[in-house]
Amino acid sequence: MTTVFFLIFALTAIGAAVAMIFQRNPVYSCLCLVLAFFALAGLYVLLGAPFIAAIQIIVYAGAIMVLFLFVIMLLNLSAEERERPKRPRFLPFAVAVGGLLLLELALVFRRAPLLGMPAGQSETSVEEIGLKLFTDYIYPFELSSVLILAAIIGAVMLAKRKI
């Protein structure tokens, strides 16, 4: 049963990611990526990490992708821009980075079987995360608020330079 769900989510994620690359319209690409993120959330559930799955949907599929959509709208891609065939100007870089990732994947697959990996033996509940976070990891937790504060100030400074 778990394997069936794994295959559904994994194939959805791969399919959506491939569709994202082959879309000409960047807005469609963005929506394909949302679907891929949803499928990843399903995979997190199968790995026994429901909290990460919820955050994946709330933060990535929700907030980050809205940001991506707004960035696409900011860029003002006209129809000619979208339909022009891509010039392979960055081909060497793309091949280098892609080859590196492929090598990495090959190394991983050499060591681990494709199916039936022993991940997610026990489910980590939100309660467990909360207990750890607010007792043992209290200092990093408080520090993260400073990080968010810095990011807030950075976002305002970046986008509103005139103030």
Partner 1 sequence: MSPWVPLLVMMLIGLGFGVVNIIASNFLGPRHPTAKKNMPYECGIEPIGNARIRFSVKFYVITMLFILFDMEAVFVYPWAVVYKQLARSGLFVFMEMALYLAIIFAGFVYVWKKGALNWED
Tally of CB atoms within 10 A around 83: 9
The residue within the footprint of partner 1, chosen from 73, 95, 102, 112 (CB under 8 A), is: 73
Helix (H) or strand (E) holding 36: helix 26-46
Q: Is there binding between residue 119 and partner 1 (CB under 8 A)?
A: no
Q: Does 159 bind partner 1 (CB under 8 A)?
A: yes
Judged by CB under 8 A, the stretch of 10-18, 93-101, 104-112, 154-162 that binds partner 1 is: 154-162
Three-state DSSP at 142 gives helix
d(CA 83, CA 71): 19
Which is nearer to partner 1, 115 or 158 (by Cβ)?
158
Q: Is 122 in the site for partner 1 (CB under 8 A)?
A: no
**What span, in angstroms and rounded, lies between the C-alpha atoms of 87 and 160?**
34
Site size toward partner 1 (CB under 8 A) is 46
The interface region with partner 1, picked from 10-18, 88-96, 111-119, 150-158 by CB under 8 A, is 150-158
The H or E element spanning position 130 is helix 126-133
Any contact of residue 135 with partner 1 (CB under 8 A)? yes
The answer to whether 51 and 130 have CB atoms below 8 angstroms apart is: no
Least distance (Å) from partner 1 to the CB of residue 14?
19
C-beta of residue 20 within 8 angstroms of C-beta of residue 32: yes
Residues 6+ apart with CB under 8 A from 74: none
Residues that bind partner 1 (CB under 8 A): 1-2, 45, 51, 54-55, 58-59, 62-64, 66-67, 70-71, 73-79, 126-127, 129-131, 133-135, 138, 141-142, 144-146, 148-149, 151-153, 155-156, 159-160, 163
